[in-house]
A and B are shown apart, each in its own frame.
Chain A
Amino acid sequence: MAKQISEMLKGTLDGIVLAILADRPAYGYEITSQLRDHGFSDIVEGTIYALLVRIEQRGFVDVAKVPSEKGPPRKVYTLNAKGREYLDEFWTTWSFLSERIEELRNTSSHLDGEGK
């Protein structure tokens, strides 16, 4: 199951991370641990970091460097207007997708039932 879930997450992780940032600004490690709290336990920090680089490049977040007690400054990510727009679109797409897939499951299980 681990392999399949990581494949399926690929297309949706951007939206999931933006949804977390919609709540409040956060830095990389906070985002990873919040994802873990939400049950995405296999996600590693590097993957999230690569994703954060991407959403920054696409202009969905504003980035501020905040000094930390130890080590280099932390990059704190804040969802901006463009990111919010993307997130709205993501939820619309997600509803569409999950509805269709659910429908497909109901149709096929119905057929399974008839076959017996």
Chain B
Amino acid sequence: MAAGWIETVTGSFEDKKRWRQYKARKQNLPQNYRTAIDGLERYFMYAGAIVKGDIMMQMMEDLLDLIEQAAADATPIRDIVGDNPVEFAEAFLLNYEDGRWVNKERKRLTDSIDKAVSES
């Protein structure tokens, strides 16, 4: 398929479409919930180091599901993320380990130790 090599250059079309839909849904949130989700989004981008586009999109959509529901129920932001938002963000990120950059290094470490054991 022609899409094959084009997508290796541009990134997945499907992920781009999901990202645009995510952005559009976010626009409909009340301002304070949007501020909260923007903050979490930024943290996930930096601290998450998620390199797989589809996993990152899944994560952002899951987050949006939570925030949209909270906005509809008028749940206070503190009741969603608690006193320590970093703790919440880290717990959330753990679910998407498969997409994280560090995974490659974890595999490399495991392989090195396996190799070391087989050499002894």
Contacts and interface: CB of A to CB of B under 8 A. Distances in A.
Q: Is the interface of B mostly helix, strand, loop or mixed?
A: helix
Interface in A66-101: 68, 70-72, 74-75
Interface stretch (A17-25, A48-56, A106-114): A48-56
Do most interface residues of chain A lie in helix, strand or loop, or is the interface mixed? helix
A46 B80 contact: yes
B8 to A, nearest CB: 28
Contacts of A44: 78-82, 88
Most interface-central of A44, A46, A49 (chain B CB within 10 A): A46
A54 B91 CA distance: 10
Nearest to B98: A57
A68 B72 contact: yes
Contacts of A57: 95
B72 A50 contact: no
A29 B94 CA distance: 21
Interface in A2-16: 6
Interface residues of B, number: 21
Interface in B49-81: 62, 65-66, 68-73, 75, 78-81
Contact of A71 (B62, B71, B92): B71
B34 to A, nearest CB: 15
B42 to A, nearest CB: 16
Contacts of A75: 65
A45 B70 CA distance: 9
The 8 closest A-B pairs by CB, nearest first: A71-B72, A44-B82, A50-B92, A46-B88, A49-B66, A50-B91, A46-B80, A46-B81
Interface of A: 6, 28-29, 42, 44-47, 49-51, 53-54, 57, 68, 70-72, 74-75
Interface of B: 62, 65-66, 68-73, 75, 78-82, 87-88, 91-92, 94-95
